[in-house]
Structure 1
Amino acid sequence: MTLHQLYVALFLGGLVLLASIAATRLATGVGLPSLLLFLGVGVLVGEGGLGLQFDNAQLGQDLGTAALAVILVEGGLTTRFSDIRKVLAPAAVLATLGVAVSTVVTAAAVHWLLGMNWQLALLLGAVISSTDAAAVFSVLRVVPLPRRLSGLLEAESGFNDAPAVILVMLFSVVPMELNAVDIVGTLVYELGIGTVLGLGFGVLGAMTLRRIALPAAGLYPLATFGLGMLAFAAAGTAHGSGFLAAYLASVVLANSGLPHRSATRSFAEGAGWLAQIGVFVILGLLVSPDQLLDEVVPAIVAGLALLLLARPISVFLSLIGFRVPWREKMFLSWAGLRGAVPIVLCTYPIVAGVPDSWRLLHIVFILVVLYTAIQGPSLRRVAEWLNLIPRDTTREIQVDAAPLDVLGAELLTMTVLPGSRLHNVTVLELRLPDPSVITLIIRDGQSFVPQPVTRLQIGDELLIVTTSVTRDQAERRLRAVSRRGKLAYWFDEYGDPA
C-alpha cells in the first residue's frame, strides 16, 4: 500500500466512522438499535453501493470475533454486580438451557416449514438462539426497566454468546455427527474453562491494580480493558470459552473498587462503540444485496418461529422454579434482541465449508434487520403495557476512586504517644500547612471526622492527607507541636528531624 492509498483509506475510514456516529443520534431518538444503521453503512459502501468488493469470510470471522470480545468486555465493565447478583442463577439457565431449547425449536420449525436440511436448520437455530449483548445494552440505555429485569437481560446477553458459539462450531463440522455425550462434554469443558479463567483473571487483575500505582491515570482504563482481552485470549488458547471468560473477568474488575472507574467505563463504552461500528460495517460489506430478496420469505418464517415459539418456550421453560412474574417473562420473550452475534456466527460455517452456508448469512442478515427494527422501537411500549416501567427512574451517582500518588497527594498516619505535647491541642491550633488536613481520627477503636475544635488526645491515631509538595512541612509541624506544643515557633522549634 502506497502512502497515498493509506491516506485515502484513512479518509474513507474516518468518513464511515463519523457517518456511523451521526446515525446513532437518529437511532437513539426512536429507540432503534443504531447497529442496524451501521449495517446499512456497510451495505452502502459495499458492492451494491459504492462498489467496494469484500468477500473474505475468514477475515470477517476473525475481525468479528475480536469485536465481539471487545463488546463483551465493555458489557462487563459497565455492569454493576449489585444489579445482576440476584439473577445469576436464572440468567445462567437462560443462557444454557434457553439457548438449547431455542436452537431445537427453531431448527425443527425451519426444517418442517422450509424443507431446510437438518445441518443448516440446526446452524440457523444455534446462530439466532442467543440475545445480542450490544443490541441489549443499546436498548437498555433508553428503556428504564426495573433493576432485576434489566439485570437479567444484561446477564443473559453476556453469558449466552458462549453456548451459542460452541453449538455453531459443533454443527459446522462436515459431515456433521451428532453425539449427545460429546456435545454436553464440550459445553461443560469450554464453559468451565471460561468460567475459571475469567474469574481468575478478574480477581488477580483487581488485586494487582489495587497494589500498584501507574504513572498516568489514563493507563488504568487500558490495563483494565487489557485484562479482559487477556482473559478472552487465554481461555481461547486453552480451548475454553473466551467470550465467557472476557465477560466474567470484566464484571469482576468493574466491581472491585479499582481506581478511575468512571474513566474506565467511558473508555470501555468508546471501545465498545468502535467495535460495534467496525463489525457491522464489515458484515454489511460481506452481504450481496442482489441475493437478499430471495431469502426474505425464509427469514420471515425463521423470525416468526423464533419470536412466537422458540423464544417464549425457552424463557418459560428456563424460568420454571424461579420467582419471575409472568409479566417479566412476557417481556423477556419479546426482548430477545439479535444483532452482531448471529451475523458473525454465520461466518463460521462459511469458513468450515458447510454447503449453502452463504445462504444462511443472507437469511440471518434479513432476520436481524427486520426483527430488530420491529422489536427495538416497541420495547418501551411493551414495557409500559406490561406496567414494568418504574415510576422512580432516578439514576444512582457514580463514585470514583484513585490512588493518592496519582492525584499528587499522600496519606500520612501517626499516633499521639504518651508525653506528646499534641495532647489537648485542637485541630485548628495545629495549623497544618495548606492544603494538608486531618481527615479521620481513630480513638478507642471508634473513627470519626474531626472538627476544627476537636482536641487531640493521647492514643489518637490520625489520618492526614497532604500533597507531595507540602508533606515535609506537615511532618515538621507535627514534630514541632509534639515537642513544644502549639506555640512551638515561639520557642524556635521547627520540627527538624532528630
Structure 2
Amino acid sequence: MTLSDLYLTLLIGGTVLLASIAAARTAHRVGLPSLLLFLAVGVIAGEDGFGLKFDNAQLAQALGTAALGIILVEGGLTTQWSSVRRVLAPAAVLATVGVALSVVVTAVGAHYLLGMHWQLALLLGAIVSSTDAAAVFAVLRSLPLPKKLTSLVEAESGFNDAPTIILVLVFSTTASAADLPGPVPLIGNLLYQLAVGGTLGVLAGRLGSAALRHIALPATGLYPLATVGFGVIAFAAAGAVNASGIIAAYLSGVVLGNSDLPHRAATRSFAEGVGWLAQIGLFVMLGLLVDPSELPSAIIPALIVGLILLLAARPVSVVLCLLPFPVRWREQAFISWAGLRGAVPIVLTTFPIVEDVTGARNVLNIVFVLVVLFTLIQGPTLPAVAKRLGLARTGALREIQVETAPLDVLDADLLTVSIPKGSKLHGVAVFELRLPPPTVVTLIVRDGTTLVPDRNTVLRAGDELLLITTPQSREATERRLRAIGRRGKLARWLGEGGAPEEEPTESTESTESSKPSEPPEPSKLSKHSKPTHSTTQTE
C-alpha cells in the first residue's frame, strides 16, 4: 500500500466514522436504536451506494467476533455486580435452556411455513435465538426500569452467545440431520465453553484488578488502556483453548468494573469510546457485507421468521424457563418483548457462509432484514410496553442526577446534583441537609450564575449543586439526598432512609395499586456515556 492509498483509506474511514457518529446523534433524537443507522451507513457506502466493495465473509467473521468481544468488555465494565448477582440463576437458564427452546420452535416454524430444509431451518433458528448484547446495553439502559429487570435481560444477553455459537457451528458443519451429534457431546461442549471461559474471565479480571491497584503507571491514560487490555486478554485466552471468549470478555469486565481501581471514571469513559468504535465498525462492516438488490426477496421470509420468534419462540422460552423463579407475569411479558436482535445474528450468518453451506447467503439476507424490521418494531416501542405493563417509572431518572468523577490526588469524589421541579429539596437550607462529614456543598449554579453557598443558603428547583465527598461517605451522602428529595428535611423523622427504590413484590402489588403513587426515585448516579445508555441507580 502506498502513502496515497493510506491517506485515501484514512479519509474514507474518518468520513464513515463521523457520518456514523452523526447518525448516532440523529437516532438518539428520534428515538431509534443507533445500530439501524450504522447499518444504513454501511449499505449506502457499499456496492449499490458509493461503490465500496466488501464480500469477504471470513474477514467479517473475524473482525465481527473481535468487535463483539470489545463490546462485551465495555458492557461488563459498566455492569453492577450487586445487581447481576441476584439474577444469575434465571439468566443462566434463559441463556441455555431458553436458547434451545427458541431454536426448536423457530426451526419448526421455518421448516413447515417456509419449506426450509431441516439443516437450514435449525441453522436459522440458532442464529436468531440469542438476544444481542450490544442492542440490549444500548436500548435498555436508557429506560427507567427496575434494576433487577434490566440486569436480568443484560445478563442473559451477555451469557447466551456461547450456546448460540456452539449450535451455529454444529449446524454449519453437519451435512444432514443424521450427522448431528447427540445431546451428551453438545451439553459437554457447552459446559466446557462456559466453565473454562467463565473461569478465565474471572481470573483475568482479578489479576488485572490486583495489578492495577498495586502498580503505579507513569501516566493516567495508561490505566484505561490496561483495563481494557486485560479484558481483551481474557477474550483471546478463552478463544485460544476453544472456550467461550464472549463469556470471558464479559466476566472479566464485570470483575474489573466492580473493583476499586484508580481512575475509574476515565476507564469507563475510555471503554465506552472503544465500545462505540467497535459498534460503529461492526455495523458498518455488516452493512457493507449485504447486497441491497437481494434484500427485497427476503422481506416475506424475514417477517414470517420474526413473527414466529417474537410471538411464539421467545414467549414460550421465557415462560417455561422462568417458572421456577419469582418473576411476575408483567416482567415475563416485557422480557419476551425485549429480546432484541442486533449484530450477533448477522455476524453468526458468516459461519455457514465460510463453511459453504447451501442457502447460507439467503440466510444472511433473511437475518439482515429481520434485524432491521424487528429492531424498528421492538426498540422504539419498549418504553410504551414498559409503561403499559406498569414497569416504567416516569421521572425516576430525572429527580436528581448525580455525576461522579474521582479526584484521585485527594481521594475524593465530585458529585453534581440537579434539582428539578417538584423535588422536596426545594426550600431546604444547606445546613438542613445534614450531609455526612466531610461532605460539603462547594458551589451552586443558579439561573446561569454561580454562587458559593453558606450554611443558610436555601436551595431552589433548577439549582445544580457541586459537592465534594470521600468514597467512604459517598453512599451515605446519596442516601441522604434521596431521603430529602422524597420526604423533605424531616425525612429522617418520617422514617425515610433514602435506600434505592425496589420494585413491589407480587404479594403487595394489589394493595399498592390503590395507594397514591410514590414520589419518583430522587437520586441517581450517572456518568458521561453514550446517548443510548441510561443513568444507573446508586445501590
Task: Name the TM tier (shorter chain).
Answer: 0.7 to 0.9
Q: 1:206 aligns with which of 193, 209, 215?
A: 209
What SS is found at the alignment partner of 2:74?
A: helix
Inter-partner Cα distance in structure 2 for 1:395 and 1:191: 40
Q: 2:293 aligns with which of 287, 290, 293?
A: 290
1:351 aligns with 2:354: yes
Identify the residue that residue 87 of structure 1 maps to in structure 2. 87
User: In the TM superposition, what is the alpha-carbon distance from 1:398 to its structure 2 partner?
Assistant: 5.9
1:61 aligns with 2:64: no
How many correspondences in the alignment?
A: 408
Compared with structure 1, are the counterparts of its residues 296 and 219 closer, same or farther at alpha carbon in structure 2 (3 Å cutoff)?
same
User: In the TM superposition, what is the alpha-carbon distance from 1:75 to its structure 2 partner?
Assistant: 0.5
Correspondences of 1:438-457 after superposition (within 5 Å): none
Inter-partner Cα distance in structure 2 for 1:398 and 1:325: 33
Identify the residue that residue 497 of structure 2 maps to in structure 1. none
Identify the residue that residue 153 of structure 1 maps to in structure 2. 153
Q: 2:329 aligns with which of 326, 331, 338?
A: 326
Give a deviation string over 1:399-455, Cα, whole Å, max 9, x none. 555765999xxxxxxxxxxxxxxxxxxxxxxxxxxxxxxx9xxxxxxxxxxxxxxxx
Identify the residue that residue 243 of structure 1 maps to in structure 2. 246
Correspondences of 1:152-231 after superposition (within 5 Å): 152-176=152-176, 177-178=179-180, 179-231=182-234
Inter-partner Cα distance in structure 2 for 1:401 and 1:171: 49
Inter-partner Cα distance in structure 1 for 2:13 and 2:286: 15
Identify the residue that residue 430 of structure 1 maps to in structure 2. none
What SS is found at the alignment partner of 1:336?
A: coil
What SS is found at the alignment partner of 2:326?
A: coil
Amino acid at match of 2:173: V
User: In the TM superposition, what is the alpha-carbon distance from 1:253 to its structure 2 partner?
Assistant: 0.6
CA contact (8 A) 2:23 2:34 kept: yes
Identify the residue that residue 18 of structure 2 maps to in structure 1. 18
CA contact (8 A) 2:67 2:278 kept: yes
User: In the TM superposition, what is the alpha-carbon distance from 1:49 to its structure 2 partner?
Assistant: 0.8
1:315 aligns with 2:283: no
User: In the TM superposition, what is the alpha-carbon distance from 1:142 to its structure 2 partner?
Assistant: 2.3
Identify the residue that residue 363 of structure 1 maps to in structure 2. 366
Amino acid at match of 1:44: I
Q: 1:260 aligns with which of 259, 263, 269?
A: 263
Identify the residue that residue 423 of structure 2 maps to in structure 1. none
Inter-partner Cα distance in structure 1 for 2:165 and 2:408: 40
Query: Stretches of 4+ moved more than 3 A in 1?
Result: 394-407
Identify the residue that residue 73 of structure 2 maps to in structure 1. 73
1:277 aligns with 2:280: yes
Compared with structure 1, are the counterparts of its residues 401 and 204 closer, same or farther at alpha carbon in structure 2 (3 Å cutoff)?
farther
Identify the residue that residue 134 of structure 1 maps to in structure 2. 134
Which structure has the greater CA radius of gyration? 1
Identify the residue that residue 33 of structure 2 maps to in structure 1. 33
What SS is found at the alignment partner of 2:317?
A: helix
What SS is found at the alignment partner of 1:216?
A: coil
User: In the TM superposition, what is the alpha-carbon distance from 1:165 to its structure 2 partner?
Assistant: 1.1
CA contact (8 A) 2:141 2:150 kept: no
RMSD: 1.7
For structure 2, list consecutive stretches of 5 or more residues without a partner in the other structure.
413-469, 471-539
Identify the residue that residue 433 of structure 2 maps to in structure 1. none
CA contact (8 A) 2:76 2:253 kept: yes
Compared with structure 1, are the counterparts of its residues 368 and 348 closer, same or farther at alpha carbon in structure 2 (3 Å cutoff)?
same
Compared with structure 1, are the counterparts of its residues 260 and 398 closer, same or farther at alpha carbon in structure 2 (3 Å cutoff)?
farther
Identify the residue that residue 52 of structure 2 maps to in structure 1. 52
Percent of pairs with identical residues: 62
What SS is found at the alignment partner of 1:102?
A: helix
Identify the residue that residue 8 of structure 2 maps to in structure 1. 8
1:110 aligns with 2:113: no
User: In the TM superposition, what is the alpha-carbon distance from 1:289 to its structure 2 partner?
Assistant: 1.0
User: In the TM superposition, what is the alpha-carbon distance from 1:377 to its structure 2 partner?
Assistant: 0.5
CA contact (8 A) 1:262 1:398 kept: no
Compared with structure 1, are the counterparts of its residues 396 and 94 closer, same or farther at alpha carbon in structure 2 (3 Å cutoff)?
farther
User: In the TM superposition, what is the alpha-carbon distance from 1:173 to its structure 2 partner?
Assistant: 0.5
User: In the TM superposition, what is the alpha-carbon distance from 1:141 to its structure 2 partner?
Assistant: 3.4
User: In the TM superposition, what is the alpha-carbon distance from 1:331 to its structure 2 partner?
Assistant: 0.4
Inter-partner Cα distance in structure 1 for 2:390 and 2:98: 25
What SS is found at the alignment partner of 1:156?
A: helix
Compared with structure 1, are the counterparts of its residues 352 and 395 closer, same or farther at alpha carbon in structure 2 (3 Å cutoff)?
farther
Identify the residue that residue 379 of structure 1 maps to in structure 2. 382
For structure 1, list consecutive stretches of 5 or more residues without a partner in the other structure.
408-438, 440-498
User: In the TM superposition, what is the alpha-carbon distance from 1:29 to its structure 2 partner?
Assistant: 2.1
CA contact (8 A) 1:94 1:314 kept: yes
Inter-partner Cα distance in structure 2 for 1:184 and 1:310: 21
Give a deviation string over 1:125-152, Cα, whole Å, max 9, x none. 1111111111111112321111111111
Inter-partner Cα distance in structure 1 for 2:31 and 2:162: 27
Inter-partner Cα distance in structure 1 for 2:118 and 2:201: 34
Compared with structure 1, are the counterparts of its residues 4 and 110 closer, same or farther at alpha carbon in structure 2 (3 Å cutoff)?
same
Identify the residue that residue 530 of structure 2 maps to in structure 1. none
User: In the TM superposition, what is the alpha-carbon distance from 1:30 to its structure 2 partner?
Assistant: 2.9
Identify the residue that residue 470 of structure 1 maps to in structure 2. none
User: In the TM superposition, what is the alpha-carbon distance from 1:9 to its structure 2 partner?
Assistant: 1.1
CA contact (8 A) 1:153 1:332 kept: yes
1:122 aligns with 2:115: no
Give a deviation string over 1:154-174, Cα, whole Å, max 9, x none. 111111111111111111114
Compared with structure 1, are the counterparts of its residues 8 and 107 closer, same or farther at alpha carbon in structure 2 (3 Å cutoff)?
same
Inter-partner Cα distance in structure 2 for 1:60 and 1:359: 17
Give a deviation string over 1:325-347, Cα, whole Å, max 9, x none. 11010000001100000000000
